């Protein structure tokens, strides 16, 4: 069992920031911060074997997770991220996506000429990636990948680090998976954002206890640089997440049932809560989302420009003998 802070590895005192309830079970969890390095975490931290009970039965079902075709629209955003990786790597190559889910981003990389491989702990999501998209995806642990001795031109860790039991060890393993000059794309919610500071326990991206750790730019930078990786680019915003996060966090703070709009947009078997909410509340969540989206469009652009967006993406590179990188 991991002891001490997973960033500084010391038995530091932790201070309580606030208490938040799980939307599935209603159980309370503390969000605490290491007094040494500042990394925040969920306490108590469920072990990997316990986490399944905090997900609804159909969360990883083989059906599409979202209504109104939203699954398909996400693929439109993928190409810009792939271009960012290719500019740093110098073209396409081999990639492994850690925690790839049903494989939509990995499929987009394959369409751009990459040799792709993915891992996914959810058997049903991995099965969907294999059967629907014909991808090479399996339930392989990160340390098993490293033990294979194979290296890749790119590694993707997209909104996965916050779920891991030991993010420091995971990022060190990712460094070991990269060839010299290889690039990792690491995306996480930004606990240092304006939105997180204002919404606190009502922040959409907090998602305790499924999110075990809550990173700021400072704490993620410490983990990445501690693994010997160089930060080449950072972005503070994700189009598919940030406007919706602003809407949902605002509705949470205004007293609507927690994450109601999120559940309205999901298929019934994949919802995290709100199964007994009246249609009136659901309608209010949908109607109020329209003006909030207009405000959120301006809010998220300003927050991203100030490096305070609700999500952040680090493009990091393994050391290489090649000193020039295509920008």
pLDDT class of 206 with cuts at 50, 70, 90: very high
> What is the rounded average pLDDT of the residues 7-26?
86
Mean pLDDT, the chain, as a whole number? 88
Burial pattern 20-51, b for ≥16 Cβ within 10 A else e, equals bebbbeeeebebbbbebbbbbbbeebbeeeee
Q: What is the pLDDT of residue 56?
A: 61
pLDDT at 237 over 70: yes
Domain spans of the chain, in order of start: 14-244+303-317, 245-302
User: Does residue 122 or residue 34 have the better pLDDT?
Assistant: 34
User: Does residue 219 or residue 64 have the better pLDDT?
Assistant: 219
pLDDT at 68 over 70: no
Q: What is the pLDDT of residue 126?
A: 86
Q: What is the pLDDT of residue 83?
A: 95
Q: What is the pLDDT of residue 198?
A: 97
> What is the rounded average pLDDT of the residues 134-159?
95
Q: Is the pTM higher than 0.85?
A: yes
Topology annotation, domain 14-244+303-317: Rossmann fold (3.40.50)
SS3 284: helix
CA distances, 189 to each of 70, 84, 311 (Å)? 20, 19, 4
End-to-end CA distance of the chain: 42
> What is the rounded average pLDDT of the residues 280-294?
94
User: Using CA atoms, how far apart are residues 145 and 40, in angstroms rounded to an integer?
Assistant: 28
pLDDT at 287 over 90: yes
pLDDT at 185 over 50: yes
Q: What is the pLDDT of residue 2?
A: 56
Residue 324: DSSP 8-state: -
CA distances, 121 to each of 52, 126, 149, 158 (Å)? 11, 7, 21, 14
Range with lowest mean pLDDT among 54-68, 144-158, 203-217, 302-316: 54-68
For the chain, what percent of residues have pLDDT higher than 90?
69
pLDDT at 197 over 80: yes
The answer to whether 312 and 304 are in contact (CB under 8 A) is no
The number of C-alpha atoms within 13 Å of 214 and in the hemisphere containing its C-beta is 29
Contacts with 11 (C-beta within 8 Å, 6 or more apart), sequence order: 3, 4, 5
> What is the rounded average pLDDT of the residues 272-278?
60
> What is the rounded average pLDDT of the residues 195-214?
96
Q: What is the pLDDT of residue 275?
A: 54
User: Using CA atoms, how far apart are residues 77 and 187, in angstroms rounded to an integer?
Assistant: 14
For the chain, what percent of residues have pLDDT higher than 70?
87
> What is the rounded average pLDDT of the residues 49-65?
60
Give one word for 26, left, alpha or beta, with left for phi > 0 and alpha for psi -120 to 50.
left
The answer to whether 99 and 122 are in contact (CB under 8 A) is no
Q: What is the pLDDT of residue 63?
A: 46
> What is the rounded average pLDDT of the residues 289-295?
97
SS3 279: helix
User: Using CA atoms, how far apart are residues 155 and 175, in angstroms rounded to an integer?
Assistant: 9
């Amino acid at each position: 069992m991991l002891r001490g802070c997973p960033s500084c590895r010391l038995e530091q005192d932790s201070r309580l920031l606030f208490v938040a309830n799980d939307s599935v079970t209603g159980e309370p969890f503390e969000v605490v911060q290491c007094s040494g390095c500042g990394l925040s975490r969920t306490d108590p931290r469920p072990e990997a074997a316990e986490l399944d009970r905090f997900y609804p039965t159909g969360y990883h079902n083989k059906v599409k997770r979202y209504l109104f075709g939203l699954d398909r629209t996400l693929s439109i955003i993928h190409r810009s991220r792939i271009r960012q990786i290719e500019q740093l790597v110098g073209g396409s190559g081999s990639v492994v996506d850690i925690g790839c889910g049903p494989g939509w981003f990995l499929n987009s990389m394959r369409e751009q000429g990459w040799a792709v491989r993915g891992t996914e702990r959810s058997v049903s999501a991995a099965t969907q990636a294999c059967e629907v998209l014909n991808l090479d995806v399996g339930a392989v642990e990160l340390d098993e990948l490293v033990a294979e001795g194979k290296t890749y031109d790119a590694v993707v860790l997209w909104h996965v680090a916050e779920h891991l039991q030991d993010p420091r060890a995971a990022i060190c393993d990712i460094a070991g998976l990269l060839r010299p000059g290889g690039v990792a794309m690491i995306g996480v919610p930004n606990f240092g954002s304006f939105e997180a500071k204002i919404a606190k326990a009502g922040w959409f991206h907090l998602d305790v206890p499924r999110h075990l750790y809550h990173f700021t730019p400072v704490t993620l930078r410490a983990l990445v640089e501690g693994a010997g990786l160089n930060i080449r680019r950072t972005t503070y915003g994700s189009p598919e997440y940030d406007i919706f996060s602003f809407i949902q966090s605002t509705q949470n703070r205004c007293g609507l049932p927690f994450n109601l709009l999120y559940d309205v947009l999901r298929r019934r078997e994949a919802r995290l809560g709100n199964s007994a909410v009246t249609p009136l509340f659901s309608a209010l969540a949908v109607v109020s989302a329209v003006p909030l989206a207009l405000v959120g469009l301006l809010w998220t652009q300003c927050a991203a420009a100030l490096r305070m967006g609700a999500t952040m993406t680090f493009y990091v590179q393994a050391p290489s003998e090649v000193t020039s990188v295509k920008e």
